[in-house]
Structure 1
Amino acid sequence: MADQHIAARAHRHSSAHPAQASPCDALVIRAQPAGSGRPCRRKKLALAATILGSSMAFIDGSVVNVALPSIQTELHASVAAIQWVVNAYLLFLGALVLVGGSLGDKLGRRTVFVAGIGLFTLASIGCGLAPGAGSLIAARAVQGIGAALLVPSSLAIIGAVFDDAERGRAIGTWAGVGSITSALGPVAGGWLVDAFSWRAIFFLNVPIACATVALALVAVPDSRQEDDGETRAHGRRIGEAPPRLDWPGAVTATAGLAGLTYGLTLASTRGFGDGWVLASILGGVLVLTGFVALEANSRNPMVPLDVFRSRDFVGANLVTLLLYFGLSGALFFLPFTLIRAEGYSATQAGAALLPVPVTIGLLSRFTGGLTGRYGARVLLSVGPMIAALGFAMFALPWMRDGYWRGLFPALAVLGLGMTITVAPLTTTVMTSVSAARTGVASGINNAVARVASLLAIAVLGIVFVWSHDAALGTRLDDLHAPRDVREAARLTQIGMAAPPTARATAAPNAAMRAEVARAQADALAAALQAVALVSAVCALAGAALAVWTIRKTSGKAAAPHTR
């Protein structure tokens, strides 16, 4: 169990945000073989390459959130379009990350890692040069494909380069740098937006990528599965051919998630009665059903369904899905609302999120031994309940009375809930399956966290838009605003293409413009409150599922469980 505690401890430092490291990234590293047949003489440089590469992908997923208002204003994008700026990335990363790992095993981890970096960097340049929302979304999709190649390969490289005696320290270094980038990434991204342009956050990837590729070519051996000297996570030994890649499963998963997400995003403006919405959602569900059937009958499935025979594994993934669903949605709409409704700069909005990673960093050592003492079931019940309290605090009446009185306590409580939850989540995934299936289990849990983020932005986008429109309509009714003022102020297909004060210019006088701008800010705040309450309900549901599905002894040091 010492390895489990090391993996759990390392992960706690890397999970400040769902767009960054997900619950089992450290476990993915530990599931790798204990060094490859090609020894690495420059291990520190190899570690630096993997840290730079994975951090580039993780941070790019979070700093974009603080840039969304600026992107929307410049590109005149709809709310659905800015959702897809994030979702296009998450869609391909979540659907292809498992195939990306297998591709590294087959073709060489360094080869796939460098290819992923190259693709990611070219797509970043495309994002920075994008003339419109459509081209930006397309470039973000290609970024997601690149991330799906580089992220699992970077984790596999750490596992293959370092032996058992060194791996714990390497994971700790990787996770420690991850915690710093988790904290500073949104702040630095916000500063770039304020000082230069939202395009700068994408161009910044270019020099980092050049340094990463140079380090990888110099220091990282191009290991692959047949180089590994011991049993792999999926049970094959040296000399056996790697499995065929599950391209039908990857394509089906991507198409199904795309259809479902597109329908849900479209529903925010058209409603669920629209034919395209219904067709897209139904088609997505049917394709995902086909994906399950494919995996059940495949000789080399991307997602082996037999791991779901473990009730603990199912429970851990349901908790991951619900908790990261709420966290992703809340942290997507929070910076947007702070900038649009409260007048924060992008830098201030990024800095406002600091209590979550800082709380995790400060308290992770204190909570580290709780899993072995109390068991995962207790912590996976308590942690999400505390996180639910943090979400609910976003809806309190004094939330807008100032940062230190309103927002800071809510984020600190949310960070505490995540700190308590993540370690037992990692341990439960590790102990719920046999040692031969640990790598598969961690990869699936990793993908679940990313898919949760994808679905959250689509589903909670409906909650946000509908709540905003209802609140704004009520406030404009109270003001007896003329029809043209109401149309100019309402969140419509083109969304919020300018700050509230500018959008209120259709009002006939300064007093009315001020009242309309205040009504718009209040409506945004009400929409965020609705999202936060739904997130709180999801976290509570995760706590209830943990009680129902996870065994009382799960995660305790005295009772490791394998199947």
Structure 2
Amino acid sequence: MRKWLPLLAISLGAFILLVDVTIVNVALPRMADDLHASFASLQWVIDIYALALAALLMVTGSLADLFGHRRLYALGLTVFALASLACALSPNAAALITARAVQGVGGAAMFATSAALVSATYQGRDRGVAFGVWGAVNGAAAALGPIAGGLLTEGFGWQAIFLVNLPIAVVAVVLTLKVLPAGAPAGSTGARLDLPGAATFTLAAAALTYALIRGGEHGWGDALTVAAFVVSALAVLGFVAVERRGAHPMLDLALLRRPSFAGLLTGALIYQLAAFSGLVFISLWLQNVLGLSPVRGGLALMPLAGTAFVVAALAGRHTHRFAPRVPIGGGLLLIAAGSLLLWATVDSGSGQSSLFAGLAVIGVGVGLTTPVLVSAAIDAVPPHQAGMAGAAVNTFRQLGMTLGIALFGAVFTARLRAVSTHGGSQHAAYAAGVDRISLLAALAAALGAALVFLTSRRPAVAEPPTPSAPAPAPEQSVAH
């Protein structure tokens, strides 16, 4: 069993960083009460973490190439643990949001290196098994977050959802330093940091997220809302200019001219948006309106988590037999179907049982899609750009979560306001909000499926996929 200790170290880190994307969901009402936080502040508690992951994945991948994957992974675990402690000790919303941003920095370092460490540690049949386990952990972690959050919040308080990371991180660090390979000497790959690209990408994503959140709160004609949209657009133009002229771009824009790769990036963004962003608002409905405890609220989401884990573990062994567009596009169609079920079953008279069928179908879609996304993106580009492709698809996944929460938050707030203005009850207002975001998620997932089916036309590979085993590039390889 000793040979699987490195996989345990890697999986522990991957689990806590991805669980923390959604573990906050069911704790939001308790946080709001204790910290006297507004709805917009609560959105930032979730969004700032996903935004840091999205903005820094490719940069931390370059740092890993410079300083070594094991070293950066251990450093990321340490930063993540310390930031988790700061989250638990936060006296107000501003401090919590700041600590969550730092937590995202550590998470990015872990996410950018974990799969490359699996690739470096295992060979042959063991590599296929290791990636199957790693993929299952990735597929289930975000879905299990609300359940773990509910149990910890009700049993020990919302601070426990952060404190639980500490012992897990300590075990992962110890195992990392003892059993993981040290890797290549620092700087041996010739990688370079694209700081201008990272800065403009981060500014564009942050400004767009802020614009969506503020627009929902203060109106789309608000001066700061409009200004944020303008800043985001200018930052996108700056990012394009920087990446086109840079010697070591974070993302080679020529790759976007490949329909299969561009379609997969869009599919990755839509996948995360459609499958997970709505859980925040469903959790608010379960607790604030239906009066469920955090534990029962988390357990109400179990159909998604359970089916995602089982399907990811089983499908990972067989999906290599099909062209990537089949599990990815099919998974997105199932997410669309599950979201339509939620739209059709949730109304002002609904209880938690109205969620079960829709969430279960979404979970099947998540389990099919997750293990294949990265390997499909890698397969769509030249081998020497495989690392960049893997980092890009994971970046777009996290960006989808960030923008999804902001967009759905704006829609949800507007629905609450509209129903309340016309004399509707709180139950009716919240149900109308869940109804609307479920419909939007269904439409988005269906669009993502169509794009993947139309653009991703590469044949299936003969060997089982190794979703994060990119061939190193002399200057541009980025672990993911």
Residue in 1 that maps onto 2:95: 135
Offset of residue 155 of structure 1: 2.2
- Of residues 541, 550, 555, the one that matches 2:447 is 541
Offset of residue 426 of structure 1: 4.3
Offset of residue 437 of structure 1: 2.1
Offset of residue 342 of structure 1: 1.1
SS at 1:201's partner residue?
helix
Q: Distance in 2 between matches of 1:375 and 1:161?
A: 27
Offset of residue 53 of structure 1: 1.7
Residue in 1 that maps onto 2:267: 319
Q: Distance in 1 between matches of 2:334 and 2:323?
A: 17
Q: Distance in 1 between matches of 2:323 and 2:136?
A: 25
SS at 2:65's partner residue?
helix
In structure 1, give the amino acid aligned to 2:234. L
SS at 1:475's partner residue?
coil
Contact 2:65 2:189 in 1 (8 A): no
The CA deviation string for residues 183-206 of structure 1, in whole angstroms up to 9 with x for no partner, is 654323211111121011111112
The CA deviation string for residues 56-114 of structure 1, in whole angstroms up to 9 with x for no partner, is 21112221111111111211111110000011111111110111111112112222112
In structure 2, give the amino acid aligned to 1:63. I
Residue in 1 that maps onto 2:14: 54
Offset of residue 525 of structure 1: 1.2
Residue in 1 that maps onto 2:352: 403
Contact 2:216 2:414 in 1 (8 A): yes
- 85 and 378 in structure 1: CA distance in 2 versus 1, 3 angstrom threshold: same
Equivalences for 1:97-136 in 2 at 5 Å? 97-136=57-96
SS at 1:396's partner residue?
helix
- 262 and 206 in structure 1: CA distance in 2 versus 1, 3 angstrom threshold: same
TM-score normalised over the length of structure 2: 0.89
Q: Unaligned 5+ residue runs, structure 1?
A: 1-40, 228-239, 477-518
Offset of residue 302 of structure 1: 1.0
Contact 2:321 2:461 in 1 (8 A): yes
Offset of residue 241 of structure 1: 4.4
Q: Distance in 2 between matches of 1:546 and 1:445?
A: 13
Contact 1:119 1:146 in 2 (8 A): yes
Residue in 2 that maps onto 1:499: none
Residue in 1 that maps onto 2:160: 200
Q: RMSD across aligned C-alpha pairs, in angstroms?
A: 2.5
- Of residues 34, 37, 61, the one that matches 1:77 is 37
Offset of residue 364 of structure 1: 4.6
Contact 1:43 1:161 in 2 (8 A): no
- 366 and 116 in structure 1: CA distance in 2 versus 1, 3 angstrom threshold: closer
Q: Distance in 2 between matches of 1:111 and 1:372?
A: 32
Offset of residue 372 of structure 1: 5.9
Q: Is 2:450 the partner of 1:555? A: no
In structure 2, give the amino acid aligned to 1:453. M
Contact 1:431 1:554 in 2 (8 A): no
Residue in 2 that maps onto 1:527: 433
Offset of residue 269 of structure 1: 1.2
Q: Distance in 1 between matches of 2:459 and 2:103?
A: 38
Equivalences for 1:85-484 in 2 at 5 Å? 85-178=45-138, 181=141, 184-224=144-184, 241-364=189-312, 375-397=323-345, 400-404=349-353, 406-422=354-370, 425-475=373-423
Contact 1:226 1:242 in 2 (8 A): no
Q: Unaligned 5+ residue runs, structure 2?
A: 466-480
- 454 and 149 in structure 1: CA distance in 2 versus 1, 3 angstrom threshold: same
Q: Distance in 2 between matches of 1:423 and 1:203?
A: 29
- 166 and 358 in structure 1: CA distance in 2 versus 1, 3 angstrom threshold: same
Contact 2:304 2:359 in 1 (8 A): yes
Name the stretch that deviates more: 217-226 or 178-187. 178-187
Larger radius of gyration: 1
Q: Distance in 2 between matches of 1:153 and 1:217?
A: 14
In structure 2, give the amino acid aligned to 1:223. G
Contact 1:307 1:437 in 2 (8 A): no
The CA deviation string for residues 237-292 of structure 1, in whole angstroms up to 9 with x for no partner, is xxx64221111211221122111111111111111111111111110121122112
In structure 2, give the amino acid aligned to 1:283. V
Name the count of aligned residue pairs: 463
In structure 2, give the amino acid aligned to 1:361. F
- 195 and 453 in structure 1: CA distance in 2 versus 1, 3 angstrom threshold: same
Q: Distance in 2 between matches of 1:74 and 1:464?
A: 23
Identity of aligned residues (%): 36
- 181 and 89 in structure 1: CA distance in 2 versus 1, 3 angstrom threshold: closer
Contact 1:428 1:554 in 2 (8 A): no
